[in-house]
Amino acid sequence: MLARNFECTIAPLSYFKSFFLGMMLVGMGGLCWAEAAQIEKPVKVPVFSLAQLQEMGRASSPLIKAAQAGVDGVAEKQSAIHKMRFLGLISKEIPVRKQQAEAGAVAASASFSQSELDVNFSVAYTYTSIIYARQQLEIADRGITDLTTTGDIAREIVKTGSRNDVSKKQIDQINVYHNFFYGRKEEAVQGIPRAKAGLREAIGIQNLNWDLEPADKVLTLPEVSINKEEMVRLAVERRSEIQLAQAAVDVTCLEVQAQQKIWSLTGRTFATGTDIHAILLPAPSFNEDYKPGAIAPEMPANLVGSRRSRAAQAQILHTRAEAVSEKARSLVALEAETTWLRWVENQNRAKHYLKAADEAEKLAASLKDRFDPRGGKITLDEVIDSGIQANTMRIQANEVVYKTHLSLIALERVTAGGFKAPPITKK
């Protein structure tokens, strides 16, 4: 047997060794605490108002950048034509081309203004959708909580047999509605990030992790009076589509003069240096969702024939441009009127739905308070049905209020900013 000639003790450290070891442990502990604090510290999500987000969109949206490039391109072409001083001695149509370039600048400016309105609409639409989805999520959670509480009461009654009118039937019924509200919850849960993704795209933000907290929390029904004739008038006066169509009328009229100044058998038109089909036109729909379509502009790059023949061809194209302008005016007026009618429908529906939801919630609360698990006149079926009705009516009321806001946002776009949508939340 081996003799033990050692002791299981730790030799004492010197004072300095103990001091430095202690300092190292304190430092490591502090570092770990700092790292833990950094990990646990919640990330503060920035709060943005609708006006702030729209300003961000106008500053960074690719749609705005593309429209600005169009304005710059037209300005550069206009400058190039005006610099052709001596070329006018050879090409007699140059003075006319200068006038056409001015009309093109007006059209480019109108297109830029429309892009700004489109960005404002897209941002407002998605911002409002975030708030709406959150409200629906809250109601879905409330419905689930109410059913869970009622289900616990039902199971306890069945267990104790305190009421003869409660059985497994009510429990099964509660489970059915549970799944319904879980489905509505999932719709809202996915609706929030979907709306945020649309908002990021509208603003021009590429970071998928970018997040925000809306300054508005609840969609309230706006109290506003809107005149249909005023909406139509503002739309016809301000919409860029009409300005673009009128610019085409002016340019094609000038083209008649330009062709009369060209002596060759082939005369280039203003369309040589541009693409008149660059603006995408909405396709018509002739099914149950009827929607008339616009007339596409037309101008070939070259006209062939004698001066008189080419001028006659240009005159025909000018007549067509006038028809395009008339159709554009008609479509804009129709859009303004139908958008106004949609707002009227949603506004009136929302008033009835909100009143119904308020009354349903009062009834549900009253029946729930008066229900006695030991017996009484108020049945569990009444409690279940009234609770389901209250939460379902609130979901429907929220949806119609949301559609009312979308109608107002659309009216702002339809009138090219002539009408301003009211605030989302009452101040």
Q: How far apart are the first and last CA of the chain?
A: 92
Task: Kindly tell me the burial class for residue 272, based on how many C-beta atoms sit within 10 Å of its own C-beta (0-12, 13-18, 19 or more).
Answer: exposed
Tell me 277's DSSP state: T
The residue-averaged pLDDT of 327-339 equals 95
Q: According to the model, what pLDDT value does residue 285 have? A: 66
Examine the pLDDT at 356 and tell me if it is beyond 50.
yes
Q: According to the model, what pLDDT value does residue 2 have? A: 39
Q: According to the model, what pLDDT value does residue 225 have? A: 95
pTM of the predicted model as reported, rounded to 2 decimal places: 0.83
Q: Which residues of 373-384 are buried (b: 16+ CB within 10 A; e: fewer)?
A: eeeeebebebbb
Contacts of 99 (CB under 8 A, 6+ apart): 254
The residue-averaged pLDDT of 58-82 equals 86
**Cβ count within 10 A of residue 232:** 20
Report angle CA 157, 158, 162 to the nearest 5 degrees: 45
pLDDT band, very low/low/confident/very high, at 399 (cuts 50, 70, 90): very high
Q: Tell me the H-state helices in 204-212.
A: none
Instruction: Note the pLDDT tens digit of each residue in 247-281.
Output: 888 888 988 888 888 888 887 877 665 545 455 55
Examine the pLDDT at 128 and tell me if it is beyond 60.
yes
What does each C-alpha distance from 81 to 97, 246, 255, 293, 376 come to in angstroms?
Answer: 7, 22, 16, 35, 91
SS3 422: coil
Q: Which domains does the chain have, with CATH numbers?
A: 47-270+295-414 (1.20.1600.10)
Mean pLDDT of the chain: 85
